[in-house]
Structure 1
Amino acid sequence: MYLWVKAFHIIAVVTWFAGLFYLPRLFVYHAMSSDTVSHERFCIMERKLYRGIMQPSMVATLLLGGWLLHLNPGWLSMGWLHVKLGLVLLLLGYHHLCGAQLKAFARGENARGHVFYRWFNEVPVLFLLAIVLLVVIKPF
C-alpha cells in the first residue's frame, strides 16, 4: 500500500509543479498582451489551468502526503520533515498568490509588467530544489 500512495503522491506533486511553472509563464505573456482577444484567451487558459489542474493536484498532493505521514508517523520526529512541511506551507501561499494574480488579470487590474512575472516564475524552482533535496538527502 505504501508504495502505491507514494507513487500517486509523486504524480500529484509533479502535476502541481507543472501548473506552478506554467501559470506564471502565462502571466508573462498575458502582461505583454494588449488586445482584448489575447486578454480573454489568457484569462480562460489561466482559469482552466488553475481550477482544473493546479487545485486538484494541490489537494491530491496534500491528502496523499498526509496519508504517507499516517503510514510513517516516525517521520514527524525528523527535522528534515519539519523544514519540508514549512516549505510546503510557503508553497501553498505561492499557489494562492497565483490565484490572486489570476483574478487581478481577469478583472483587468494587473499592475505588474512581464519582467516581474519572469522573476515570479522562478520561485517554484527554488521550492522544488529545496523540497526534493530534503526528501532525498534527509540532512537532519
Structure 2
Amino acid sequence: MLWIKTLHIVFITSWFAGLFYLPRLFVNLADVKDVATTERLLMMSRKLYRFTTILMIPALIFGLILWLGYGIGKGPGNGWMHAKLLFVVLAIGYHHACGSMLKKFERGVNKRGHVFYRWFNEVPVVLLLAIVALVIVKPF
C-alpha cells in the first residue's frame, strides 16, 4: 500500500504542477500581440496540457486503488473523504476548463484578458490546499 500512496502523491504533485503553470501561459497568451510569440506559447500550452492529462490519469487510478482497494476513507467517521472527492472532481473540471480555454486560444476567439487568467491561475492552489488539509487533518 505504501508504494501505491507514493505513486499517488508523485502523480498528484506532477499533475498539479501542470495545473499551476498552464494558466500562467494563458496569462501570457492573453497579453501578447506578437504572432511568433503567440505560436510558441500555444505550442508550449498544447504540450503541457497533453502531458498534464497523462499525469492526471495514473493519479486518479492510484487514488481509486487506495480508496476502493485498501478502504482508505471508507466507513463511519470518514466524511473528509467525501469532501476531498468533491475537490478532486473540481480539479478535474478545472483541468478540462483549461483544455477548453486552450482551444479558444488556438481558434483565436479568446475574449478574456490577462487579469482574468491571473485570478484563474490561483484556483488550483486553493484546490490543492483544501485536498491536502482534508487528508491530513481529517476534520470530520
TM-score scaled by length of structure 1: 0.95
Q: Cα deviations across residues 37-75 of structure 1 (Å, max 9, x unaligned)?
A: 011111100000000x21011101110001111332252
Structure 2 residue identity aligned to 1:68: L
RMSD of the alignment, in Å?
A: 0.9
Q: Cα deviations across residues 69-96 of structure 1 (Å, max 9, x unaligned)?
A: 1332252231000000011001111110
Could you list the runs of 5+ residues in structure 1 that have no partner in the other structure? none
Structure 1 residue identity aligned to 2:9: I
Aligned length: 138
Q: What is the match of residue 63 of structure 2?
A: 65
Q: What is the match of residue 56 of structure 1?
A: 54
- Percentage identity across aligned positions? 54
Q: What is the match of residue 114 of structure 1?
A: 114
Q: Cα deviations across residues 82-139 of structure 1 (Å, max 9, x unaligned)?
A: 0000110011111100000011001111100000000000000100110000000111
Partner of 2:127, secondary structure, is helix
Taking the TM superposition and a 5 Å limit, the aligned residue runs for 1:1-140 are 2-51=1-50, 53-73=51-71, 75-77=73-75, 78-140=78-140
Name the one with the larger helix percent. 1
TM-score scaled by length of structure 2: 0.95
Could you list the runs of 5+ residues in structure 2 that have no partner in the other structure? none
Q: Note if contact 1:76-1:82 (Cα within 8 Å) is conserved in structure 2.
A: no
Q: Which runs of 4+ in 1 moved over 3 A?
A: none
Cα pair distance change 1:137/1:76, threshold 3 Å: same
Partner of 2:74, secondary structure, is helix
